[in-house]
Copies of this chain bind each other. A is one copy, B any other.
Amino acid sequence: MSSTASKLDPDRQLPSSGQRSSCYHKGLKYLTNSPKKADRCSSRTKNGKFPDTTNTPLRNLALCRKPPGSVSPAKRQINEVKETKTTVNCVTFPLPGEGPEQQLLKPNEWSYCDYFWADKKDPQGTTHVTGFEVLLQKQLKGKQLQKEMAEFIHERIKIEEEYAKNLSKLSLSPLAAQEEGTLGEAWTQLKKSLHDEAEVHLKFSNKLHTEVEKPLLTFRCDNFKKDLKKYDHHIADIRKQLASRFAGVEKARKALADRQKDLEVKTQQLEIKLSNKTEEDIKKARRKSTQAGDDLMRSLDLYNQTQSKWFEEMVTTSMELEKLEVERVEWIQQHLRQYTTLRHETDMFNQSTVEPVDQLLQNVDPAKDRELWVKENKTGEVRPVDLDI
């Protein structure tokens, strides 16, 4: 993860995860704004009550097929206890209205880090996609669209080249090349102006290539997709770890239940004095029950550590992707602006190709042309006279 991240943002510091329960603070220390608010909204994770939690059967966890919000069979037996949390695909959320109100991490920013915590069913509804995958797909689509824009510009370049080719070809045509005098000069310049126009459009297409098509095409080389994959795998691995640790919690909880049952039985036996060895057994059973309680606490601890690590990575990485998207939009904006600038230039340069033609058309003078032609073609100015004897 760190290698991937450093590729995209060398200065970025990774969360030193692992210390328990303060995890939501750690996640927040990577937010650019209002750390106080962030503290407040996550603090309630300390003073939570301790009711029995919703359990998700192991097989569902492993396959991650459990729809959000549904309730496990185990739950139905213990419905007298009020629930405050629900665990969906191994991630634990407060139930609506339970626990203190959560403020957005970055209010009024529509930041990625605030809106992609839940998984969602994919269109087919057969599997689910994580919120993080939704963010990754946005990135991949953006990269694709950027490539398509480059392709569009390339097509425009080809059109300009074709146009320029035809114009300069026509400018070399011998049509009316024999026109003489001032009119001949204007005509010659008009034909030449097509060559100048061709040059303008050729320059336009060259600049489109170097200043628009190429930047759009090369912005974020192929490493980009590799980097996204690394993000993807990193977050997915933490989700897997979270699943197995949640399984651990379930196992420990069952073991504790068994021990407590055993202790109960032994205690009843003591009351009806069935044997005198019972004192010993009860001590033993209480020790084992305490042991099981400690195991459950440890596995809960491990689970919460992993969930906090996932939280941190989600916050940090989604903000990374958010930054990347801002960069993409601004990069494209910048180079489409360059496109319109080049278009304006082209129109201006085109104007200038006509001006010398206008000049010479102003100078066209039939009398002058007649003088030139007569000087060259006259046959004789001596007029006839009467013949005489």
Contact = CB atoms under 8 A, between A and B. Distances in A.
Interface of A: 21, 24, 41-42, 44-45, 48-50, 52-53, 68, 85, 87, 91-94, 99, 102, 104-105, 109-112, 114-120, 130-131, 134, 138, 141, 145-146, 148-149, 151-152, 155-156, 159, 162-163, 166-167, 170, 173, 175-176, 178-179, 183, 186-187, 190-191, 194, 246, 249, 253, 296-297, 300, 303-304, 307-308, 310-311, 322, 325-326, 329-330, 332-333, 336-337, 339-340, 343-344, 346-348, 350-351, 354, 357-358, 361, 364, 366-367, 369-371, 373-375, 377-389
Main secondary structure of the interface of A (DSSP, over half): helix
Nearest to A191: B152
A382 B93 contact: yes
Which of A156, A246, A369, A387 has the most B CB atoms < 10 Å from its CB?
A: A387
B175 A152 contact: yes
A304 B389 CA distance: 12
A110 B310 CA distance: 99
Contact of A370 (B110, B361, B366): B110
B383 A117 contact: yes
A57 to B, nearest CB: 16
A344 B358 CA distance: 11
B131 A155 contact: no
Contact of A380 (B117, B162, B344, B361): B117
A319 to B, nearest CB: 12
Contact of A384 (B92, B162, B163, B332): B92
A297 to B, nearest CB: 8
Contacts of A339: 190
B175 A373 contact: no
A286 to B, nearest CB: 18
A387 B87 contact: yes
Contacts of A166: 159, 162-163
Contacts of A375: 110
Contacts of A145: 176, 178-179
A114 B48 CA distance: 119
B176 A149 contact: yes
B333 A354 contact: no
Nearest to A359: B340
Which of A41, A45, A381 has the most B CB atoms < 10 Å from its CB?
A: A381
A42 B88 CA distance: 122
A53 B387 contact: yes
Contact of A387 (B85, B116, B346): B85
A190 B384 CA distance: 75
A251 to B, nearest CB: 14
5 contacts: A148-B176, A155-B173, A300-B388, A303-B387, A333-B361
Contact of A385 (B93, B152, B326): B93
Contacts of A178: 141, 145
A21 B386 CA distance: 7
A190 B118 contact: no
A386 B114 contact: no
Nearest to A373: B138
